[in-house]
Structure 1
Amino acid sequence: MKVALGQFAVSKVWQENADICVNLIKRAQEGGADLLVLPEGILARDITDPDIVLKTAQPLDGPFMTQLLAESSKSALTIMMCVHVPTGGQRVFNNLVTIRGGEIISQYLKLHLYDAFAAKESANVQPGSVIPELIEVAGLKLGLMTCYDLRFPELARRHAVDGADVLILPAAWVKGPGKEAHWDVLVTARALENTCYIVAVGECGERNIGASMVVDPLGVAVVRAGEVPALIFAEIEPKRISHARSVLPVLANRRFARPELA
């Protein structure tokens, strides 16, 4: 499976972000990708306005997703990204949406909200309550996670026990002392401890680190972006997964039960 990681700086204006996404979709198609992963919160971002997710949330039949779905209908490329959608109440959902062939094929509402490092995502976002099912792309099974989920090993392990080959993580990882080191350690750990590839795609710009990366099942960083917008590609090799699980059979050797949502 060939994966494309589309890292960019999200603006305040949804139309500008939609145009960037369409461009990334076209370039990923031209690059022969089977999967394109985009960052978290790509509808709009403004570091001066903590309530922007409330003001800019759109339903999945709104103009932002309609534009992306129209572009998606032109190929078999699978595309994943996180957008904020209305709940019908006072908060919004942080929704990891997967589209293919002009249709929405899955949704995952973020379980772990970023109430840490003086931030409080839960002020505006309602958490999900369902572990997402695996998605198949190019013969491989993918488990879905979003940003702060990375700090909780249970979801990644649940996906691995359920049969995931690859973990997908759109993110908007906030800058701060030691935060880029946290990203490196945690992305690598989730891959290595589950003998899965992980595709982690970060938003870049004024607030967030970027640093999108693919780490293989033995903890080797296959490709990595810097702090500026980029489209990078990586090959996901099934033989590498089989090799890792033969020499490091942690999934077979584990003594703990399958993680369940509390």
Structure 2
Amino acid sequence: MLKVALGQFVVSRSWQDNLATTITLMQQAEAANAHLLVLPEGILARDINDPDLNSKQAQPLDGPFVNSLLNISQTMSLTTIMTIHTPALEGLTYNTLIAIHQGKIVAKYRKLHLYDAFTDKESAKVIAGDQIPPLLDIAGTKIGLMICYDLRFPELARRLVIDGADVLVLPAAWVRGPLKESHWELLLRTRALENTAYMIGVSECGVRNIGCSMVVDPLGVVVTQATEQPSLIFAEVDKKRIAYARNILPVLKNTRFNKPQLT
């Protein structure tokens, strides 16, 4: 069994405060013997009244935020996944997912699909990535990596599962709005069911974002779900459940389409 922890919180405008919250969640997940902790998207800084704060507070992967987490993680067995904004050219940033384990960055991925929707325009401040996310092996389980708006593009989830993923992990800052909580649940359950894979979605909570982090099993069943409040919840990934789902619903074998490719 792979034990996963989902830590949702309200990202503040102070990276030092967010660092302290992240360290606390890591320590709590480690104490609970979790193998994996998933945190929200863009956890360096956020201010609803200052939409440029992500760019202004961006740090490189060798900056003080990540270095502090790497130091803390050295004695932990836990792997922690999150995204932060890292500097790019001319004041722009990358929305960068990192996985850290025992003092090292063991995987990284730059967000492919930028949130130019529902009146937002992420591409005004962020440069899109151009690489398929790597797979991460945690306790013998293959993990596929995605970020927030990626959830609305079934090609990426299917590509990761064809590549070998049994679990799809999605840090997010899912913005509030009409029907947005329904979109969140519907899309997480759909990506899980159509790929017979576990889906782990962790969203920031607070005034701007919905929270409602959840784990969905390979047959689309919600295993655990957080509320709209800051919380740390746990679930187990059962490889027998994956095998069962793929046996009775062999969509990965029955598909008539080739592996999705990045344009």
Same fold (TM over 0.5): yes
User: Which residue in the other structure is 1:105 paired with?
Assistant: 106
Provide, for residues 30-77 of structure 1, a one-character-per-residue CA deviation record: whole Å limited to 9, x for no partner.
Answer: 011000000001000001111111110001111111111111111121
Partner of 1:126: 127
Count of residues in correspondence between the two structures: 262
Match of residue 55 from structure 1 = 56
Unpaired segments of 5 or more residues in structure 2? none
Question: Match of 2:38?
Answer: 37
Aligned to 1:3: 4
Structure 1 position 97, deviation (Å): 0.4
In the TM superposition, what is the alpha-carbon distance from 1:89 to its structure 2 partner?
3.0
Whether 1:248 aligns to 2:224 is no
Q: Measure the CA separation in 1 of the matches of 2:233 and 2:90.
A: 38
- Residue pairs, 1:77-116, within 5 angstroms: 77-116=78-117
Q: Quick check: 1:64 aligned with 2:65? A: yes
Aligned match of 2:208: 207
Letter in 2 for 1:243: Y
Task: Provide the secondary structure at the position in 2 that maps to 1:217.
Answer: coil
> 1:229 corresponds to which letter in structure 2?
P
Q: Secondary structure at the match of 1:20?
A: helix
**For 1:191 and 1:24, how far apart are their aligned partners in 2?**
26
Is it true that 1:158 corresponds to 2:146 in the alignment?
A: no
Show structure 1 runs of 4+ deviating over 6 A. Answer: none
Letter aligned with residue 74 of structure 2: S
For 1:236, the aligned partner's letter is V
What letter matches 1:2 in structure 2? K
Q: Report how far residue 106 of structure 1 moved.
A: 1.1
TM-score norm. by structure 1 comes to 0.99
Deviation of the 1:90 alpha carbon: 2.8
1:87-146, Cα deviation, whole Å (9 max, x unpaired): 133310000001000111111000000000000000100000000111100100010000
What is residue 137 of structure 1 aligned with on the other side?
A: 138
CA distance in 2, matches of 1:89, 1:27: 39
Aligned mates of 1:30, 1:218 — CA distance in 2: 30
The sequence identity of aligned pairs, in percent, is: 59
- Aligned residue type for 2:12: S
Query: 2:222 — aligned with what?
Result: 221
TM-score normalised according to structure 2 size: 0.99
- CA–CA distance in structure 1, aligned partners of residues 80 and 73 of structure 2: 8
CA distance in 1, matches of 2:200, 2:118: 24
The letter for the 1-side match of 2:219 is L
